[in-house]
Each structure stands twice: as structure tokens, then as C-alpha cells.
Structure 1
Amino acid sequence: MTPIASPPSLLTIETIRSVIDAMPMQGRIMLRLILLQYFDVTDEEILYIVTDRPDPRCVAGTKPTNTSMTKESIKVVTDRRDQYRRQVRLKRERTWLQCECLRSLTQLREAFADRAGALLSERFSVSADQLEALRASARTVLPRPAIRLLDERWTADEVTAEDYQRQRLSIEFQTQLRMAEKYRKRLGLAERERENAISAPLQDHEIAHVWGIPAGSLAARKVKYLSQYLQSLQATLPTGAAATATAPLDLWKETFSVLAAQSITRSLSSYDGLEKTESALIDKLTAMVWGSLPEEIEVKFWTSLVFGASSNAMHSEITRSLFGLQRLITIFNDMDRSPEAVDEELLKRAAPIPKLEEGALEAPVEPPAKELSEMQTQILNNMRGEDASGKSSDKW
């Protein structure tokens, strides 16, 4: 049965923007604050907010008509707008980066598993039934004990080099399958978080914090201008489509869907101390991309990438750094994903450990000769009764 394709959206970004721009100043500010992750509150609108805020010194009586603006009050409103705008946009960017990274990691692990299966069948004559058995037991196999046992058998000359490589590649095949399944589950969770992030308006208490008006006045204005926005949006739809258009609530959801389709502006992030040094972080990210990072380390490392430098505490969106996720995307883009490069990496991991020839002893490692400094040389010469040239001194 062929699935029925959903009809294209009747809304466009230009339509939404034109409807909001046509609203009165107060309604325009309200809609832009609600949709702050997609729209900006202009400086002119900030001046209106400053003059519209009640004076906290007047707790009773009528509101004074001669409201005055100060640089301090303008700065307070601007800082609060910037704070919430950065918060919601960072969350939108972070969830997008998470989905992109997990999608790429899933594709890489599946590609590595496919190449490992191809190498097993082509080079080591593993049958399709054996590959299917390895695939079925991939979830329950513990790689570290299996590799340790295989290394012990190799050291004891119980397996040949070809058998070692075949068994080691089989373990790697199962590891890549298990990691691909793990990344698919994480991707599902990340996509749900992203759906919540892109469809979340600014909360009432956050709008009240920016605007500085009581909750009752805010609720009344919100209901008034949301209704006006949806009615105006319904009126702008084509005549034929307006009859079959969805309910106002669906138009509100469609507003977020259309706005979320815009490209995300990448933010600038600096190194936040993850893994202590930037070079160590890059090395760990590279190992994660190539699939050579141990699973027990990978779990905690991914958590630290998502939540920030410290994985032991939950941080707010402002304190989270996107440096690690952005570098991970860069490594993906620079990576050689050709089958030849993947085969070379897999065969390198499956190569047996070279053995020492029988009767050969390891040469003792001599510590490197340490040169004496001038001060140390002078002290030794004085102790031997010699001057700087090595001749006997007349002082002794």
C-alpha cells in the first residue's frame, strides 16, 4: 500500500512575518517574544517595553503619565532579551548538532559493520549463516573478555595468524553492530528532544521577566494578540485553501514547523576545558568517529559532550558549550569514508600482536644520558679540586 503524502504547508515564512509586522506595536512585541528563537525584538520595541513597564516605586494609585527612560532601564531590558534569546537558540542548535552527530555516527558504524562482514566473507570464507549467527549474538557478546582470551591463545600458540585475524574481525563486526544500534536509540531520543525544542514558545514567566508587567496583564495581552494573529493568518490563506485549512491550533503548530525549517546560524564557541586539553579532546573525538573508543569510556564521553565539561552535574543551557559537538561535525567532514580506508582500519585492528623470536631476550632499556648543567659541572670540578678548564686548582 502506497503511503499518502502529507499536503504541502499552506504557510510560508514570509506570510508569518508579514502578519506579525502588520500587528500593533504591543501585539508585535508579544508575538516576537513568544517566538524569540526565530524573531528578534528590535531596539525600537525595547524602548516601547521600557516606557510600558510599570514603575516599581508606584505601588498604589494611578500610573504616572510622565514616564522617563534611563540608560540603565534600557540596558536591563536588552540584557534580559539577549539572555533568553541566547538560551532558546543555543538549545535549538545543540539539539540539531546532537541529531546530526548521532545520524553520522550511526551511518559510520553501519558502514564499518558492512565492510567487516564483507572482509569476513571474502578473505576468510565465512558463510552467510555464520555471519547471521554473529549478527544475532552481537547484542550479548562482551568484547573485552573475548579479545583478552583470544590474545592469550595467540600468545600460547593455540591459534594461527589467520584464525586470530578472523576471530578478531568477527568481534569487531559485532562491536560495530552493537554501537550502531546504540546510536540509533540515542538518535530517537535526540529527535524527540529536538521536536520539543523547536516547538517550545518562550514561557510566560520569562516574557514577564523581560517585559516587567504583572502576570494578569501579560495573560490578557497574550490571549488577545494570539487570537488576532491566528485570525489574521487564517485570512491571508488562499480562498480555496481557507475552507479546507486546519483549525487555529493547527495553524499555531504549523507556525513552529515552518519557522523551524530555517537554517540554523552556527554560534561561536570556545574550548571549555573538556578532557583537560584541546588536543586530548580532538584525539578522543577522532577515536569516537573511527569506532576505536572503548564502549565504557564512550558512554561517559558522550554525556560530557552533551552536557558540558562536567558530566556529573546538570547545567543550564547557557553554561553548556557546543565546542565538542562542533568539532565532531568537523571531523566527520574531514574523514575519509572510502571502503579502502575503512578496510585498512579494520585489518589494522584485527592484525595479531607480533611475537618475539624464540630465545630472543628483550634488550634492557637504558635511561637516556642526562647532560650536566654548567652549575652542576662547576660543583663537581670544585669537589675534585679542578678549575673550569679541568686543571688542578692552586687553591687546594
Structure 2
Amino acid sequence: MTLVASPPSPLTAETIRSVIDTMPVQGRIMLKLILLQYFDITDEEILYIVTDRPDPRCVAGAKPTNTTMTKESITVVTDRRNQYRRQVRLKRERTWLQCDCLRKLAQLRESFADRARSLLAERFAVPADRLETLRAAARTVLPRPAIRLLEERWDADEISADDYQQQWLSVEFQTQLRMAEKYRKRLDLAERERQSAISSPLQDHEIGHVWGIPAGSLAARKVKYLTQYLQALQATLQNSAAATTTAPLDLWKETFSVLAAQPIERSMSTYDGLEKTESALIDKLTALVWGNLAEEVEVKFWTSLVFGASSNAMHSEITRNLFGLQRLATILNDMDHSPEAVDEELLKRSAPTPKPEDNLLEAPAEPPTKELSEMQVQILNSMRGEDVTGRPSDKW
């Protein structure tokens, strides 16, 4: 059965922007507030919001016609706009970074597993059925007890260096397979959260907090201008040159899909105290990328990395910092993913600890004798009653 590809949507970001720009100022502000993660409220529109807000001191009677603007009221509206804009855009960026990093980590773990399998098959001549058995048991194997037992056998001279390396690579092969599956499951959850984030408009109570109008007036304006926007968008699509294609049935849902496809603007993040020092954070991120973190440590570290669980951050989008995720994405992009680099890393990890030989043990070297300075020699001679030449001095 041949699947017929759906025709591309005629809706574009430029079309959406042009329709919103042609709306009245009140409707334009309403649509931009609803789509705040994709649009900005200009300074002129902020001034309109300030003049349009009812005076909280006038609880009854007619609204004053000569509304005066104060610097304080403009600052309040601007701060609230910035607060919700940062909140929704940080959530969009965080979910995108999270999905991007998880996708690359899953591919990296699969690459490590493939190279470990190739080394076992080519260098150590492990049969294919044994490799399939290792793959099938990857979910249930416990790597730490296996590595501990392997170290004990190596220290007791029960296995050779090649056998040690082969068994270590077998455990690493299973570990990389299990981590790849774990990252794919995390990626599925992150994709769901991302789809929810990019399709979520600003809520009514948040719009009301910015605009400062009653809930009834807000609901009426929202219905009015959403209807006007969808009708204008439908008319624009029908009159455009792309009218031959099938227009999307749900223009509102398609609006979010088209806007979400635009590039994400990266936020400026500063170090917020995760892992106590920035160098320690970078080292731990590098270990995460190369797969050197223990699984129980990796789970806690990933949770703190995604949810901003540091000393100066809270579990909310307002105070969340994306410094760790941004650095993780940078390390993943700069990493050498070539098969040669992966093979070198795996062979270096699997190499057994060299044992010291008895005949090569050297006696500890004696510390070098430190020469005395002229001042120290003079002090010693004075204490012995001698002059500079070492002869007895008549001063004593």
C-alpha cells in the first residue's frame, strides 16, 4: 500500500504576521499576548495597554476620559510582559534543548555500543550468537558487580589481559545498549512536553495580569478578535496564489505549528551554582557525554540539569537557568564522534590496571641535600664562636 504524502500547508509565518498587523490595535495586542512566545509587544502597544487599563481607584461610575500615564504604570506593564515572555520562551527553549541533547546522547550511546560490538567481533573473535545473547541480556545485567568481580580476578592473576579486556567490553556493550534505550524513553517524554509547550497559548489569568482588565471584558475581547483573526486568515489563504492547495482544517492549531517551526532564539544564561563550581559542572557534563558517569549518579545529575535543581534555582520557569543544558549541547556538538575516537576511548577504558613487578621496585630516593645560604652559614658560625673563615673568633 502506497502512502500519499499530505500537501504542504499554504500557511506561513509571514502570512500570520501580516494578518495580525492589519488588525486593530486592541486585537493586535490580544493576539500577540496569546502568542507571546512567538511575538513581542512593542513600546507603543504597552502605552496603549496602560491607557486602556481601568483605574483601580474607580470601583464605580464612568471611566475617566482623560487617563494619565505614569512612569510607574508603564514599568509595571513592561515588567509583567517581560516576566511572562521569559517564562514561555524559556520553557520552549528548555524543551527544545532537552530533546536535542537526548537525541544526540541516544545516538552517541548507540555508536559506542556498535563500536564495542565491532571490537568484540573483530579483535577478540567473539561469535555472533554470543553477541546476540549479550544484547538480549542488556536490560538485566548489573555492571558494577561484574566489573568488581573482574577486578578481583585480575588482581588474583586468574585471567589474562586479553580476557580482562574482552569481558570488560562485553559489560560496556550491554551498558551502552541500556543507556541508549533509557535516553530514547526520556526523549519520548520530552517530545510530549515540547509539543505541549509550543502549542500552549498564554492563559487568560496571565493576560489579565498583564493588561489589567476584568475577566469578562478579557473573555469578550478574546472571542471577538480570535474570530476576526481566523476569518481574516481564511480569506487571505483563499485569495492567495496557493489557493490550489488544500487549506488546513484547524487554522488555530496550524498557526502554532507554523510558528513553532521558526528558529529558537537562545537566551543568555549565567552560571547558577550547579555542582558548586563551573569547572566541576563542565567536568561532569563531559563525563556524561562520554558515558563515564555511574547510572545512579547520571539519573540525579540529569534531573538537576533539566529542572534547575541548584542552590540558586527553583522548580519554575521564571527562575530556571539553562546554563547546564546549553553547555551540554555545546559539548555534544564539539565532541569527536568518529569511529577511531570511540575505539580509542573504549580500548583505554577496558585496559587493565598494570601490575608492578617485584624486580622493578626501586628504593625510595633520598631527598636531595639542601645547601645552606650565606646568611645561614654565618649564623651557624656565630653560634659556634667562629668567624667567616671558620677560625675561632676573639669576640667570644
Verify: 1:205 aligned to 2:205, yes or no.
Answer: yes
Return 5+ residue gaps in structure 2 as ranges.
371-375
How far apart, CA to CA, are the structure 2 residues paired with 1:192 and 1:363?
Answer: 64
Provide Cα deviations, 1:186-232, integer angstroms capped at 9, x if missing partner.
00111111000100000000000000000011001101111111111
Q: Any conservation in 2 of the 1:234–1:242 contact (CA below 8 Å)?
A: no
Which residue identity does 1:245 align to in structure 2? A
| Range with greater deviation from structure 2 (5-14 or 266-275) | 5-14
Q: Give, in angstroms, the shift of residue 116 of structure 1.
A: 0.3
2:219 matches 1:245: no
User: 2: distance between equivalents of 1:333 and 1:184?
Assistant: 19
In the TM superposition, residue 335 of structure 1 has moved relative to its aligned partner by: 1.0
- Whole-angstrom CA distance in 2 between matches of 1:299 and 1:152: 28
Mapped pair 1:35 → 2:23: no
Amino acid at match of 1:278: E
CA pair 151-312 structure 1, distance change in 2 beyond 3 A: farther
In structure 2, give the amino acid aligned to 1:29.
Answer: I
Match of 1:373 in 2: none
Amino acid at match of 2:35: L
Secondary structure at the aligned position of 1:237 is classed as: helix
Residue 385 of structure 1: CA displacement?
A: 10
The 2-side partners of 1:227 and 1:366 are apart by 90
Task: Please give the alpha-carbon distance, in whole angstroms, between the structure 1 residues aligned to 2:3 and 2:349.
Answer: 44
Distance 1:301 1:201, change over 3 A: same
Return the alpha-carbon distance in structure 2 between the equivalents of residues 130 and 369 of structure 1: 61
**SS state of the match for residue 55, structure 1?**
coil
The amino acid of 1:289's aligned partner reads V
Give 1:183 shift.
Answer: 0.4
| Within-5 A mapping of 1:1-396 | 1-238=1-238, 241=243, 244-247=246-249, 250-310=250-310, 315-358=315-358
- Cα distance in structure 2, aligned partners of 1:130 and 1:310: 44
| Kept after mapping to 2: 8 A contact 1:304/1:310 | yes
Query: What is the deviation of 1:7?
Result: 2.1
Segments of structure 1 that go 5 or more residues without pairing to the other structure are: 371-376
Question: How far apart are the structure 1 equivalents of 2:365 and 2:92?
Answer: 55
CA offsets 1:55-77 (integer angstroms, 9 cap, x no match)? 00001111111111111111111
Q: Distance in 1 between matches of 2:342 and 2:284?
A: 18
Letter of the 2:247 partner, please give it. Answer: A
Query: CA 1:288 to 1:362, structure 2 compared with 1: closer, same or farther past 3 Å?
Result: farther
Q: Give yes or no for contact 1:230–1:251 (8 Å, CA) kept in 2.
A: yes
Q: 1:328, 1:24 → 2: CA distance?
A: 44
Structure 1 residue 369: Cα displacement: 11
**Correspondence for 1:374:** none
Q: SS in structure 2 opposite 1:315?
A: coil
Q: Is the 8 A contact 2:116 2:343 kept in 1?
A: yes
For normalisation by structure 1, the TM-score amounts to 0.90
Quick check: 1:34–1:203 contact (8 Å CA) kept in 2? Answer: yes
Identical amino acids, percent of aligned pairs:
80
Task: Decide whether the 8 Å contact of 1:305 with 1:324 is kept in 2.
Answer: yes
Alpha-carbon distance between aligned partners in 2 of 1:242 and 1:65, rounded to the nearest angstrom: 50
Q: Deviations over 1:22-47 (max 9, x none)?
A: 11111110000000000011111111
| Aligned alpha-carbon RMSD (Å) | 3.2
CA distance in 2, matches of 1:268, 1:279: 19
